[in-house]
Amino acid sequence: MKREDDRILEFLCEEDLATHQLISREVFESVSPPHVAERLAMLEYAGFVSCEGWESYELTTEGRMYLNGDLDARNRPTPTVDTVLR
């Protein structure tokens, strides 16, 4: 998990659905939409978010459990750039 991931998950918890562009604009001052899209892909691989429709993401049950402290990220699949983005 990177430092941006918790903020992305918290935003999705409040907003239900969001695109990487919206998250970049509303949550971060200096994180680009492509970087947010990359983090969302990693979070989806780990099971914390799911892609609903065209580039819209929502928080999964596992994502909510993580935010509530009921799930340890170390017990989730470990995404790598090769497995997620290629």
What is d(CA 49, CA 40) in angstroms, rounded to the nearest whole number?
Answer: 7
Q: In the chain, what is the straight-line distance between the N-terminal and C-terminal CA atoms, in Å? A: 19
Q: What is the CATH number of the domain that holds 71?
A: 1.10.10.10
86 falls within a domain: no
67 falls within a domain: yes
Q: What's the number of domains the chain is made of? A: 1
85 falls within a domain: no
30 falls within a domain: yes
pLDDT tens per residue, range 6-39: 999 999 999 989 999 999 999 998 899 999 999 9
83 falls within a domain: no
Contacts of 75 (CB under 8 A, 6+ apart): none
What is d(CA 31, CA 27) in angstroms, rounded to the nearest whole number?
Answer: 9
pLDDT tens per residue, range 50-75: 998 888 999 999 999 999 999 888 87
81 falls within a domain: no
- Domain span at residue 11 reads 3-76
What is d(CA 9, CA 80) in angstroms, rounded to the nearest whole number?
Answer: 19
